[in-house]
Amino acid sequence: MESLSYSFLFLSFLAEIIGTIGGFGSSILFVPIGNLYFDFETVLGLTAVFHVLSNLSKIALFRKGLDKTLLLNLGIPSVLFVIIGALLTQVIFTKILEMVLGIFLIGLGTTLFIFKNLKFKANKTNTILGGTISGFLAGLIGTGGAIRGLTLASFRLEKSTFIASSAVIDFAVDSSRAIVYFFQGYIKMDILIYLPFLFIVAFIGTWVGKKILNHIPQVLFLRISLLIVIAAGLITLIQFI
């Protein structure tokens, strides 16, 4: 990479705004965007670093909505399995998994969108399972936010709790996989030029997203979250094809 790509930074900014409005991390859009500019390993490294910055912004702006029980049940398995997924990136062919993920996101996201009263209990079993799957996929293919978004959306959580809880878990997950990616050589020296710009993009994008979110009612927030999940599934399938 010889120079800074301003179109990449602009699209990252839009992804951060949309990810904030949707209630979960921007990786759901950032990964497909990154794939247009960089190789897969570089995208993994950039996504992890960008999300650390992004989630610090969300924690600062949405900290009042934190749910400690949810954090433990969803966060601990997420961190454990993101490390396992990240370590397996060198031995598992991930393309088929991306196709399966796309189909799953479209299917479950559409079901929850159509059946508005369908709700899963936010019990220990469901949150641990959601954390395990989202963490594993985050490490393996770069994005687990959609699965965690589906998990939180299926619980019909209040939007500040949804975003704050997702941000703290995401921060722990991305910090863990960033370390693994660094030692695997995915965070390359030539992408460090992007770090200060991504920090600005992450904070301003989160701030703009929060301002927009203040004017969005709870019911519409959940609908938007599910639409973004469905869109991410379609993007994933299109890129696979």
What pLDDT is recorded for position 112?
77
What pLDDT is recorded for position 10?
93
Average pLDDT of the residues in 189-211: 87
User: What are the residue ranges spanned by the domains of the chain?
Assistant: 6-240
Is the confidence at residue 180, as pLDDT, over 70? yes
C-alpha–C-alpha distance, residues 4 and 215, integer Å: 34
Residue 117: count other Cβ atoms within 10 Å of its Cβ.
Answer: 5
C-alpha–C-alpha distance, residues 61 and 232, integer Å: 25
Comparing 156 with 201, the larger pLDDT belongs to 201
Closest listed residue to residue 171, CA positions, set 78, 67, 45: 78
Average pLDDT of the residues in 73-99: 77
C-alpha–C-alpha distance, residues 163 and 216, integer Å: 14
Average pLDDT of the residues in 9-15: 91
Average pLDDT of the residues in 48-75: 80
Q: What is the DSSP string of the chain?
A: --S--HHHHHHHHHHHHHHHHHTS-THHHHHHHHHTTS-HHHHHHHHHHHHHHHHHHHHHHHGGG--HHHHHHHHHHHHHHHHHHHHGGGTS--HHHHHHHHHHHHHHHHHHHHSTT------HHHHHHHHHHHHHHHHHHS--HHHHHHHHHHTT--HHHHHHHHHHHHHHHHHHHHHHHHHTT-S-GGGGGGHHHHHHHHHHHHHHHHHHHTTS-HHHHHHHHHHHHHHHHHHHHHHH-
How confident is residue 11, by pLDDT bands cut at 50, 70 and 90? very high
How confident is residue 192, by pLDDT bands cut at 50, 70 and 90? confident
Residues 6+ apart with CB under 8 A from 116: none
Tally of CA atoms within 13 A in the half-sphere of 24 that contains its CB: 28
What pLDDT is recorded for position 142?
63
Average pLDDT of the residues in 69-91: 81
C-alpha–C-alpha distance, residues 26 and 50, integer Å: 9
Average pLDDT of the residues in 189-202: 85
pLDDT tens digits, one per residue of 87-105: 887 776 666 777 777 787 7
